[in-house]
Amino acid sequence: MKYSKELIDELNQKAKKLRKDVVISIGVGVAGHIGGSNSSADIVSALYFHKMKHDPKNPKMPDRDRFLLSKGHVAILQYAALAESGYFPVEDLKKTKEIGFYLQGHPDVLKTPGIEAGTGSLGQGLSIGLGMALGMKLDHIDRKVYVLVGDGESAEGQIWEAAMAASAFKADNLVAIVDNNGLQANGKVTDRFNSYPLIPKWESFGWNVIEIDGHNMEEILSAFDEADMVKGKPTVIIAHTVKGKGVSFAENVVGFHNGMLTEENYAQALKELS
């Protein structure tokens, strides 16, 4: 399917704005997950500003699409998308992780509008998403559940339990997206707990697998549209991405998985994303 240049440009600009919001959320002198937030920004932009049905004025409307951040440590990216969508003021992002504030280091379903589940204990998001997807089928709600999973997180056994169950229950309203940036907190995925090769593993669990460039907006949109056409099995999108995308000093640098910004590189990051 062809997408208009205007749509692609708009979503790319939204992704760039999300990355800038991520930097603002982190601020200076406090550690924050810039790496995995920036690698996923294009995917989240496509979902929140084009693909998903959701309403900031009615966050719990029954016939909404659901988005779950299984790798909950990159909550600042979802907060940016929620703020830019109108769930709460963009200015509030500057207070992220302040004591007692409603934007904390991991998503909190009890405090933050637009959050579907408390996540961040790695490996659990896909199971929660599957439960939601099956519940929606029982309620005859014809919408999707999208779950963003990390490639490092894919070492968690619960991911594969959920993958097996989703296939067994033919959860074709469930879409997993693997942010395949190749790095985790302590180094390369291949040097730690190697979860590769991802494609044949997901195929062996009975999923429809789509492989894309996670920074190519047309490929992202096409993958989500293809998932709509698949019946009888869940879909996983393996998105090849760059850790820290959009901020030159953070790209493919393990130290910025959860890095601290100085005054100098905070200013540089904002300039590069302006």
CA 37 to each of CA 41, 120, 251: distance values in angstroms, whole numbers, following the listed order: 6, 13, 12
DSSP count for the chain of H helices, then E strands: 8, 9
Q: Contacts from 87-92 at CB under 8 Å and sequence distance 24+?
A: 87/56, 87/59, 87/113, 87/114, 88/112, 88/113, 90/21
Query: What is the chain's pLDDT, residue by residue, as a tens digit (274 residues)?
Result: 789 999 999 999 999 999 999 999 999 999 999 999 999 999 999 999 999 999 999 999 999 999 999 999 999 999 999 999 999 999 999 999 999 999 999 999 999 999 999 998 999 999 999 999 999 999 999 999 999 999 999 999 999 999 999 999 999 999 999 999 999 988 999 998 899 999 999 999 999 999 999 999 999 999 999 999 999 999 999 999 999 999 999 999 999 999 999 999 999 999 999 9
Mark residue 124 as left, alpha or beta (left: phi above 0; alpha: psi -120 to 50; beta: remaining).
Answer: alpha
Question: Distance (Å, rounded) from C-alpha 80 to C-alpha 78?
Answer: 5
Single-letter code of the amino acid located at 213: D
Pair 146, 223: CB distance under 8 Å:
no
Residue 108 dihedral angles phi and psi, to the nearest 5°? -125, 110
What CATH superfamily classification does 5-53+62-272 receive? Thiamin diphosphate (ThDP)-binding fold, Pyr/PP domains (3.40.50.970)
Full 3-state SS string of 169-213:
CCCCCEEEEEEECCEECCEEHHHCCCCCCHHHHHHHCCCEEEEEE
Domain boundary assignment for the chain: 5-53+62-272
The reported pTM is 0.97
Crossing angle for the helix pair 217-229 and 34-46, to the nearest 10 degrees: 60
